[in-house]
Chains A and B, each alone.
Chain A
Amino acid sequence: MAALTRLLESSWTRVVIGVAIGVVLVLLPLSSPAFTNQTITRIAVFAVAVLGLNIIMGYAGQVMLGQIFFVGVGAYAAAITVRSDWGAALGFWGVVAAFVLAVLVPGVMGLLVALAAARLRGLAIAMVTIALPIVGVPVAKRLSDITGGSQGISARVFGAPEWTGLDNDQWQYYVVMTIAAVVFALAFFLVRGKYGRAFAIVKENEAVAASMGISPYRYKVLAFTIAAMFGGVAGFLYIAAIQFTSPETLSFGHSIELVIATIVGGAGSIVGSILGGIYYVLVPQLTNAVNPNATAVVQGVIVLVVLFVLPGGLASLPRAIRRLVRRKRGPDVAGPAATERRTPEGITPGAGDALPPRENEERQNR
């Protein structure tokens, strides 16, 4: 048992597992049915969206209920560029331009919103972020000359080019997965580095952060902008995978669904973002197979059951198992308290619990 635990915890094992997964992911689309590829592609799209949300909610601790707005804006930027005359004329470079715009436009919007809102307290930021999708939908409808109005825009430019010999779904899979992998790698290094540590300190106690010379305002703005840019990338990938967008894409309901996916997957965790994407895409498909009339009930039950058993989200499963194992071993091994305070990945808490209780503050900040 101890040997197995040591084996599982060794970083070398992790590398092996990682490489094996990588190989599987690269070769999978060549041999699996189209629907599987399409599903995995969609999972990657929303995993990136959840990742952006995770940066701001899980790591920086700010409630953000408007992520879908940035996804939608990115999707629109990509679709409009690709369908425009100049974009279509540029061919491949048009698609690249679409990607760039899909990142920049939401990023700039996120920056502006953050500059205005980051000085407010938690609950206020939450409400401002709620405003984004809610006001975004009627605005998207008003600008119907650009956005195509309530009927939406179709953007089918991601057919597989002739020279690859791939099917459409395989090509889309590779494009989306490659971009997603790059984004995830970026995020991984971001949270392991000084920014990740700064986010964590701002999340725990802003006063402490300020006294350490870390400006909460600056880092909140940064986290917000990064989340918006990731959302924009997800929007581009959305167009690559779904090839259609409409004002409905930005609606508030989906923002809530993204938050659910983030928490159920595991906030403050890179792996959790992937699990969140899997949850977002697979659960409706599964509930459809079980009973198409009962999709809402089954989804609600799944959320509650997952959170009940694993309040830290699905990504905390290994931790939960470890705790169970440790507890079984005996009372001399003191495990952490039953109520789990989540410590984001990559940040190691100092010796002893030097952090102040969150209760009081969180009540104000909500």
Chain B
Amino acid sequence: MSTLRRRALGLAAIAGVAALVLTACGRDGGTPAPEDTDGDAEVVASPGITDDNLLFGISTPLTGATAGPGNCTADGAIAYFGTKNAEGGIEFGDGVTRTIEIRKYDDEYNPERSAANFQQMVADGVFAAGIGLGTPTNRAWRDAAIEEEVPQVLVMTGDPLFNDREESPWQLGLVPIYQQEGAAFGEVLAASTEDHKVAILFQNDDYGQGYVEGFKEAIEGAGNIEIVGELTYEPSAPSLEGQITELSATGADVLFHAVSVVPRAIENLQKAQSLGWFPSWFLPSNTASPGGVLTPGGAVAADGALVYPGIYAVSFSAAAASPPFQESEEGQAYFAAIEEYTENDGFSFPHCVWSWIAAQILEQAFMEMEEPTRESFMAALLAIDGFEAQFLLPGGSINTTTDGLPAVQDVVLQSFNGRGYANVESFGG
């Protein structure tokens, strides 16, 4: 045989063998859909749940700029289920007791990675996923989750889309939508007996815009409120002092400070007073911590008096950094769990406590779900009403039954009195 023919045959042989080998290997036709339970038919369990354990995935930033809150979003739940597993597990609504395994995935706050993480989670066989941080990072795989019918629940974003039951049948948000927090302050301000000039500083994305939208809606038509300045900032900007300087020249007596970056909030608290500007402040739930923000920011004078006429914040959970929390029995149990199951300190960001709350909500859903399927889980999750989760502020409860609202629906406006936060009903209170 000539060299050419020999080589051509060799080529064909290789190609043929490769083709045979590959097509001979069967392929998984994707995840089997759970059958409808019709009377006596066998229920096929969803992936990720066995008679012993359930796998839950959390894709969240574990490194990078937002890794502080990101780590908290995973660690709270890990600590909670760590204790529950040590007690033997959770008794599900179908009578089987199972342990809960949380697996975390780093997405570096990059939507492309979070989309890839979702594909990985499906390949790893998670039962459900969620509790991750960020709007674009959660949006990146929202459509995929709907298509694959994988629950994407209790996500840490105030983006209203996740609470729209029609648009997002497999999703549920955890934290109040940004508009609601902004409106809470707007309502109180509008009801005030005095005239107010408001300066607004907000983050240039859906977070900041949501806060401002809610605030403006609540003050619409109120004759005593005038917005005298409105400036944005980029989350990656190294300093916001230029904005504070500009706003201080407006003569505003109220500063609506929709800022989510802790060091920037601290600097702004310092800058305003150094300029001789003493407005009342409105702070969002993630930058209102007395120990983490207000004290370093110099909002409290040496004698314990407030430097500013008022500091208001919207909150829905107890602050792990506050002494009452740390002295309480449940607080100590919380810190013990954090210490044992994670590397976190548990109090630097509120997301640790929020994640602990999310874990409790999951537990409620597990205890009610009657079949080991994702459908049953979602049905149980969306039927919780009046659940007083640990560390929710007194008077608040979890209600997942309302279309358009997340799991946490009660926000409380609080005012800082130099030592801690107390509920207020009216401005100046």
A interface with B by C-beta (< 8 Å): 12, 15-16, 19-20, 23-24, 27-28, 30-35, 38-39, 42, 138, 141, 149-152, 154, 156, 167-168, 238, 242-249, 254, 281, 284-285, 287-288, 292-296
Ordered by A's residue number, 28 sampled pairs between the chains whose C-beta atoms are within 8 Å are A16-B7, A16-B11, A19-B14, A19-B15, A24-B18, A24-B22, A30-B23, A31-B26, A33-B27, A33-B28, A39-B116, A42-B116, A149-B205, A150-B204, A151-B136, A167-B29, A242-B115, A242-B116, A243-B144, A244-B111, A244-B140, A244-B143, A247-B136, A248-B136, A285-B120, A288-B117, A292-B62, A296-B64
B residues near A, CB below 8 A? 7, 10-11, 14-15, 18-19, 22-30, 62-64, 71, 104-106, 108-113, 115-117, 119-120, 122-123, 135-136, 139-144, 147, 159, 161, 204-206, 209, 234, 343
Nearest CB on B from A101, distance (A): 21
Chain B residues closer than 8 Å to A287, beta-carbon distance: 106
The answer to whether A20 and B15 touch across the interface, beta carbons within 8 angstroms, is yes
Closest A-B pairs by Cβ, 5 of them: A35-B123, A150-B205, A27-B22, A246-B136, A31-B25
B225 to chain A, nearest CB (A): 26
Identify which of A38, A39, A248 contacts B111 (C-beta below 8 A): A248
In whole Å, how far is A238's beta carbon from the nearest beta carbon of chain B? Answer: 8
When A12-B7, A31-B22 are in contact, do A243 and B15 touch as well, CB less than 8 Å? no
Alpha-carbon separation in the docked complex, A149 to B27 (Å): 40
Most central of B24, B136, B161 by chain A CB within 10 Å: B136
* With known contacts A20-B14, A33-B123, A154–B205 Cβ distance under 8 A: no
Chain A positions within 8 Å of B135 at CB level:
150-151
Pairwise interchain contact B116-A281, C-beta atoms closer than 8 A: yes
Whether B19 and A23, one on each chain, are in contact in the complex, defined by CB atoms closer than 8 angstroms, is yes
Known contacts A151-B206, A152-B136; is A27 also within 8 Å of B19 by CB?
A: yes
**Are A30 and B27 touching (Cβ within 8 A)?**
yes
**Known contacts A30-B27, A168-B147; 16 further A-B pairs (Cβ under 8 A):** A16-B10, A19-B14, A19-B15, A24-B22, A34-B119, A149-B209, A150-B205, A151-B159, A152-B111, A152-B139, A154-B142, A243-B143, A244-B139, A244-B140, A244-B141, A249-B112
| Beta-carbon contact of B140 and A246 below 8 Å | yes
Q: Which residue of B lies closest to A46 (CB)?
A: B112
Give A193 Cβ to nearest chain B Cβ, in Å.
27
Given A30-B27, A31-B26, are A242 and B140 neighbors across the interface (CB < 8 Å)?
yes
Q: How far is the CB of A133 from chain B (nearest CB, A)?
A: 12
Q: Which residue of A lies closest to B28 (CB)?
A: A33
Complex Cα spacing A152 to B159, Å: 12
User: Nearest CB to that of A280 among chain B residues?
Assistant: B112
User: Shortest beta-carbon distance, B19 to chain A, in Å?
Assistant: 6
Is A288 in contact with B23, judged by CB distance below 8 angstroms? no
Q: How far is the CA of A288 from the CA of B71 in the complex (A)?
A: 14
A261 → chain B, closest Cβ, in Å?
Answer: 13
How close is B47's CB to chain A, nearest CB, in angstroms? 12
Q: Which residues of B contact A27 (CB under 8 A)?
A: 18-19, 22-23
User: In the complex, what residue of chain A is closest to B103 when comparing beta carbons?
Assistant: A292
Chain A residues within 8 Å of B110, by CB: 248, 254
Tell me the minimal C-beta distance from B181 to chain A in angstroms. 18
Which of A19, A156, A254 interacts with B11 by CB under 8 Å?
A19
Query: Which A residues lie within 8 Å of B112 (CB)?
Result: 238, 242, 249
Q: What residues on A are CB-neighbors of B109 within 8 Å?
A: 248
Cβ-defined contact, B139 with A151, below 8 A: yes
Number of A-B contacts (CB under 8 A): 137
CB <8 Å contact, A249 and B111: yes
Q: Report whether B104 and A292 are in contact in the complex, using a CB–CB cutoff of 8 Å.
A: yes
What B residues does A288 contact at CB under 8 A?
Answer: 105-106, 117, 120
Contact of B205 among A23, A141, A156, A168 (CB under 8 A): A141
Which residue in chain B gives the minimum CB-CB distance to A21? B18
For residue B7, which residues in chain A have a CB less than 8 angstroms away from its CB?
12, 16
Contact B159 A138 (CB under 8 A): no
Q: Which residue of A lies closest to B60 (CB)?
A: A292
B119 touches A293 (CB 8 A): no
B residues near A295, Cβ cutoff 8 Å: 62-63, 106, 108
A19–B26 Cα distance when bound, in Å, is: 23
Q: State the Cβ distance, B17 to closest chain A Cβ, in Å.
A: 9
How far apart are A174's CB and chain B's nearest CB, in angstroms?
15
- State whether A152 touches B62 (Cβ < 8 A): no
Chain B residues closer than 8 Å to A243, beta-carbon distance: 115, 143-144
Are the C-beta atoms of B30 and A167 separated by less than 8 Å? yes
Asked whether, in the complex, the Cβ of B22 is within 8 Å of the Cβ of A30, the reply is yes
Residues of A within 8 A of B209 (CB): 149
Contact of A31 among B23, B30, B63, B204 (CB under 8 A): B23
CA of A44 to CA of B73 in the docked complex: distance in angstroms?
Answer: 32
Q: How far, in whole Å, are A8 and B295 apart by their CA atoms in the complex?
A: 69
**Are the CB atoms of A152 and B140 closer together than 8 Å?**
yes
Q: Decide if B106 touches A293 in the complex (CB within 8 Å).
A: yes
In the complex with contacts A292-B106, A295-B63, A156-B111 CB distance below 8 A: no
Tell me the minimal C-beta distance from A65 to chain B in angstroms. Answer: 17
Alpha-carbon separation in the docked complex, A34 to B22 (Å): 15
**A253 CA to B356 CA, complexed, in Å:** 32
Q: Are B139 and A154 in contact (CB under 8 A)?
A: yes
Query: Min CB distance, B126 to chain A, in Å?
Result: 12
**B115-A244 in contact (CB<8A):** yes
* CB-defined contacts of A150 to chain B, threshold 8 Å: 135-136, 204-206
How many whole Å from B184's CB to the nearest CB in chain A? 23
Q: Is B140 a contact partner of A20 (Cβ separation < 8 A)?
A: no
CA of A38 to CA of B144 in the docked complex: distance in angstroms?
13
A221 to B361, CA, bound (A): 58
Question: How far is A38 from B141 in the complex, measured between Cα atoms in Å?
Answer: 14
Chain B, Cβ-Cβ closest to A152: B136
- Docked-complex contact B122 and A141, CB < 8 angstroms: no
Find chain B residues with CB under 8 A from A33 CB. 27-28, 123
With both chains docked as a complex, state the minimum distance between the C-beta of B45 and any C-beta of chain A, in angstroms.
20
A190 CB to closest chain B CB, in angstroms? 27
Contact A34/B30 with A28-B22, A152-B139, A292-B62 known, Cβ cut-off 8 Å:
yes
Residues in A with CB closer than 8 Å to B141 are 244
Q: With a CB–CB cut-off of 8 A, which chain B residues contact A30?
A: 22-23, 27
Contacts of A294 in B (CB 8 A): 63
Which residues of chain A have C-beta atoms less than 8 A from B11's C-beta?
Answer: 15-16, 19
